[in-house]
Amino acid sequence: MNSAGESNGTRVLLVYYSYTGQTQKVLDAAADVLRERGCEVTLAPIEFVDPQYSEPFTRFPMRSVWPDMFSVYKAQGRGETGEIRTPDAVRDGRYDLVIFGSPTWWDTVSMPLRSFLESGDAKALLDGTPYAVVTVCRRLWRGNLEAVRELADKQGGRFADSIHFEYPGGQLTSLLSLASYLGSGEYKERYLGVKIPTTNISAGQVDQARSFAGRLADRLFGGR
């Protein structure tokens, strides 16, 4: 529905995993824009419930940041999948567009989103359907995007567009800043004595997500 309450008849589904809410933040902004354009928009957050790997991600901040971050390192490298739960919306017929929100975990797609992308539900959802990818990370977005595209294409999806969001700082300082945030839940000036940049999605990046969604809607549904 748009602000006048009129629907343009298009259905958009946003499927994502979000541990600290950064991916959620940019997708919420994209969803608002699509609704303003008259699309029927549904958000479908993935729940990570794997008995072996999900425990560190059931609380925020992390209890023990480095071991908790590394707890999925090997599994990520092997491209393992795990147990997830998804809303019924992912099994609710055809959509005109699916947008994936994908935080980077160890240079690739996170286990929760990979688990969805490799599922039978993803096959039914993506068969011939246009999809877009929003990657969110500290720095390493390319491997994540490539993995999502490979898996989504394999399930029959048609790639439409992508956007990536990175956090400020160099390789080391952005990592320290992220570790500081994940371990404390707060923004600090220093970590381990080192001055650190800000981390996480900025207001400017939320605006970029809005513009991205607007351009996508113009291109795919402009005539409707």
Residue 136 is a binding residue for ligand FMN (CB under 6 A): yes
Nearest residue to 114 (alpha-carbon basis) of 140, 89, 80, 139: 80
Residue 140 engages ligand FMN in binding (rule: CB under 6 A):
yes
Do 170 and 156 form a contact (C-beta atoms < 8 A)?
A: no
CA end-to-end span of the chain: 13
Q: Is 19 in the site for ligand FMN (CB under 6 A)?
A: yes
Query: Can residue 191 be called a binding residue for ligand FMN (CB under 6 A)?
Result: no
By CB under 6 A, tell whether 54 contacts ligand FMN: no
Report, in angstroms and rounded to the nearest whole number, the Rg of the chain calculated over CA atoms.
18
Closest distance to ligand FMN from the beta carbon of 213 (Å): 17
Q: Which of 98, 109, 163, 178 binds ligand FMN (CB under 6 A)?
A: 178
Cβ of residue 137: shortest distance to ligand FMN, in angstroms? 4
What is the spatial distance between Cα 87 and Cα 97, in angstroms, rounded to a whole number? 17
137 binds ligand FMN (CB under 6 A): yes
Binding segment toward ligand FMN, per CB under 6 A, in 22-30, 35-43, 44-52, 150-158: 22-30
Angle at 204 between CA 203 and CA 207, to 5 degrees: 90
CA distance 18 to 46: 8
Report in angstroms how near the CB of residue 1 gets to ligand FMN at its nearest: 27
Give how many residues touch ligand FMN by CB under 6 A: 20
Task: Output the CA–CA distances (angstroms, integers) from residue 9 to 1, 12, 157, 161, 223, in the order listed.
Answer: 9, 10, 21, 21, 12
Q: Which is nearer to ligand FMN, 20 or 155 (CB)?
A: 20
Footprint of ligand FMN (CB under 6 A): 18-24, 69, 72, 103-107, 136-140, 178
